[in-house]
Structure 1
Amino acid sequence: MKRIDRKIEEIKKMQEELDRRTQVEQEAEALICQCRFEEAIALLDTLDDALLQQEKEGEDMKINKQKLQIALATACMTAKELIEKSGLSKAATMNAITGKKVKPITVGKIAKALNVPVENLIDLEGEM
Structure 2
Amino acid sequence: MGTPGPYNDSHEDPADDGTPVWGCSWGTQASNADFRAIQAAGFQFTPDPANGTVTPVSGIGDQARMLAMQPDGRNPELQFTVGGAYYDLTVTVDRSETDATNAGKEKSAEQALAKLLLAKLGS
Q: Which has the larger radius of gyration?
A: 1
Shared fold per TM-score greater than 0.5 = no
The two structures have a TM-score, normalised by structure 2, of 0.20
More helix by share: 1
Higher relative contact order (CA closer than 8 Å, sequence separation 6+)? 1
More strand by share: 2
The two structures have a TM-score, normalised by structure 1, of 0.20
